[in-house]
Chains A and B, each alone.
Chain A
Amino acid sequence: MPDLGLNIIFKGKNFARLLGGLGVALRISLIAVAISIPLGLILGILMTRKNPILKAILRLYLDFIRIMPQMVLLFLVFFGTTRSFGWNLSGENAAIIVFSLWGTAEMGDLVRGALIAIPRHQYESAQSLGLSPAQTQIYIIIPQTVRRLLPLSINLITRMIKTTSLVLMIGVVEVIKVAQQIIEANRMKTPNGAFGVYLFVFILYFLACWPISMAARYLEKKWR
């Protein structure tokens, strides 16, 4: 069996360092998620309004953020603002800003989609039964929107966790950066370390995202 260099994972504090790196990645994504969800809800509701100017502005924001590679956004916020505006953002804060901007746009689009996907006859049959507009929202529209939305927003969370691997490019020491450092440090003694360490990182990401996507699948099935 070829040497996979798995032994370095357990050498010294390597194991704890890798877990710490994953912690940084999860912290960035979860803070960004916590900001994105409420802002995304507001954005999505605003996007279903009829006002054409508001619609155009929000559409522009959404397309701009979604079409641009997240890495360019990270560089823009981290390096760009330092020189141009003199902001001294830490890598982590810059990452949280970028992922919140991105998450809000994605979440907003999901909310908009869920809202417009409610067929008109749901409103009409509620009205036919004599439900007031408020009762229609509370008992009919909101429960259906949440059911459509929850699995999709959980998927968004896993996407955000995965995409945080980009923040190593602006100097944040997250799990992949830690892995690189460990591989570098052991280059002489364990030249095959790359496979073992990255395999371990792969498993860590899997363990972080898998339960979340299982939850999404479960909810999707339950609320089909």
Chain B
Amino acid sequence: MGKEDIEDIKEEGQQDGGQAMLSVEHLVKRFGTETILDDISFRVNPGEVLVIVGPSGCGKSTLLRCINALEDVQGGKILLNGLPVAEGGRKSPSVGTKIGMVFQSYDLFPHLNVIDNITLAPCKVLKKKRFLVEAEARELLKRVGLEGKEKSYPRELSGGQKQRVAIVRAMCMHPEILLLDEITAALDPEMVREVLEVVLDLARQGMTMLIVTHEMSFARAIATKVMMISDGHVVEEGTPEEFFTAPKTARARQFLNTFTYESVR
């Protein structure tokens, strides 16, 4: 390889943002004739927390589902460390376990207790020793304030506790990136707090995350970058300070206004 070639590669690498962990390029998603996501491109670097906001039905959740290969895509590329996330309509086995996801609906397995919910995938997919995974799970449960709940079944837990277990379950697979899809949307305000504290803690530890949320103050606190999607397009992208204090587009201003109320007195 000549010197020029190496220079070329270097330059290309720099254009790519160098060490982008996740890169989404010109993503198109349609359901039938309806276009849900139209030419979405962005990248996420290690340690970044990208918060995606936007009105309901704008395609935010679909975007996360596409990244996790739960939906097929009609165009564009989704790469994790340069490798495609989907292979033949399913999550690629090599890349798949590096993406963790927590959903809005409590998605714990109801027939398994907390510890079995957490240890199932590490034991069966990563073929780890059970006692090792269990020790780690106990440690993480303690950290999220669920010590002593190991033998409880999901039905015995509150919504907030279930979501914390779901986060621990995803973390025990040691994902490189964690996708959180409106994980507090179905919770009471107090439970929202306890779940979001756990997510803030993950961010402090440097976890790379993609978060879809309607909690604007949380978004502002945790994001390194905010992206707003509306009608399947990226409307605005920027730092949380820029986005929340001085949004550039009228659409973003209009959206942010829906979260504030004028006094009637």
* Interface majority SS (helix, strand, loop, mixed), chain A: helix
- Whether the pair B97, A122 counts as a contact (CB closer than 8 A) is no
Which of A125, A140, A143, A224 meets B103, CB within 8 Å?
A: A125
- Whether the pair A124, B125 counts as a contact (CB closer than 8 A) is no
How many B residues, CB 8 Å from partner? 28
* Per-residue interface assignment for chain A, residues 129 to 162, with 1 indicating a CB less than 8 Å from any chain B CB and 0 otherwise: 1111001000110011001000000000000000
**Shortest Cβ distance from B174 into chain A, in angstroms?**
11
Residues of chain A contacted by B68 (CB below 8 angstroms): 128
Residues of chain B contacted by A139 (CB below 8 angstroms): 120, 124
Contact A135 to B91, CB < 8 A, known contacts A128-B101, A129-B173, A130-B96: no
Contact A122 to B109, CB < 8 A, known contacts A129-B173, A130-B96: yes
- CB interface residues, B 82-110, toward A, < 8 Å: 90-91, 93, 96-97, 99-101, 103, 105, 107-110
Residues of chain B contacted by A126 (CB below 8 angstroms): 109
How many A residues, CB 8 Å from partner? 20
**Shortest Cβ distance from A108 into chain B, in angstroms?**
23
- Whether the pair B125, A130 counts as a contact (CB closer than 8 A) is yes
Q: Which of B69, B97, B110 has the most CB of A within 10 A?
A: B110
Q: Which of B70, B93, B169 has the most CB of A within 10 A?
A: B70
Residues of chain B contacted by A223 (CB below 8 angstroms): 111
B146 at interface, CB cutoff 8 A: no
- Whether the pair A130, B121 counts as a contact (CB closer than 8 A) is yes
B10 at interface, CB cutoff 8 A: no
Which of B69, B70, B109 meets A140, CB within 8 Å?
A: B109
How far apart are the CA atoms of A135 and B91 in the complex, in Å?
Answer: 14
- Whether the pair B111, A131 counts as a contact (CB closer than 8 A) is no
Residues of chain A contacted by B124 (CB below 8 angstroms): 131, 135, 139
- Whether the pair B70, A127 counts as a contact (CB closer than 8 A) is yes
B155 at interface, CB cutoff 8 A: yes
Residues of chain B contacted by A130 (CB below 8 angstroms): 91, 93, 96-97, 121, 125-126, 173
* Per-residue interface assignment for chain A, residues 65 to 96, with 1 indicating a CB less than 8 Å from any chain B CB and 0 otherwise: 00000000000000000000000000000000
- Chain B residue with Cβ nearest A148: B111
- Whether the pair A131, B125 counts as a contact (CB closer than 8 A) is yes
**Shortest Cβ distance from B209 into chain A, in angstroms?**
15
Residues of chain B contacted by A125 (CB below 8 angstroms): 101, 103, 107-109, 166
Q: How many A-B residue pairs have CB under 8 A?
A: 60
- Chain B residue with Cβ nearest A124: B70
- CB interface residues, B 197-251, toward A, < 8 Å: none
Residues of chain B contacted by A122 (CB below 8 angstroms): 107, 109
**Shortest Cβ distance from A138 into chain B, in angstroms?**
9
- Whether the pair A121, B105 counts as a contact (CB closer than 8 A) is yes
Residues of chain A contacted by B101 (CB below 8 angstroms): 125, 128
How far apart are the CA atoms of A128 and B120 in the complex, in Å?
Answer: 13
Q: Which of B99, B111, B125 has the most CB of A within 10 A?
A: B111
How far apart are the CA atoms of A125 and B165 in the complex, in Å?
Answer: 13
**Shortest Cβ distance from B162 into chain A, in angstroms?**
12
Contact A224 to B155, CB < 8 A, known contacts A121-B103, A124-B107, A139-B124: yes
How far apart are the CA atoms of A131 and B93 in the complex, in Å?
Answer: 9
**Shortest Cβ distance from B69 into chain A, in angstroms?**
8
Which of A121, A144, A147 meets B107, CB within 8 Å?
A: A121
**Shortest Cβ distance from A137 into chain B, in angstroms?**
12
Residues of chain A contacted by B97 (CB below 8 angstroms): 129-130
- Chain B residue with Cβ nearest A138: B124
How far apart are the CA atoms of A220 and B5 in the complex, in Å?
Answer: 68
How far apart are the CA atoms of A129 and B125 in the complex, in Å?
Answer: 8
Residue contacts A-B, CB under 8 angstroms, 10 given: A121-B103, A122-B107, A124-B103, A125-B101, A127-B69, A130-B96, A130-B121, A131-B120, A135-B125, A139-B124
The residues of A with any CB-CB pair to B shorter than 8 Å are 119, 121-122, 124-132, 135, 139-140, 143-144, 147, 223-224
Not counting A124-B70, A124-B107, A129-B121, a sample of 17 additional A-B residue pairs whose C-beta atoms are within 8 angstroms of each other reads A121-B107, A122-B107, A125-B103, A125-B166, A127-B91, A128-B91, A128-B101, A129-B97, A129-B125, A129-B169, A130-B173, A131-B125, A132-B93, A132-B125, A143-B111, A144-B111, A147-B111
Closest 8 CB pairs of A and B: A129-B121, A125-B107, A130-B97, A130-B125, A128-B101, A121-B107, A130-B96, A143-B111
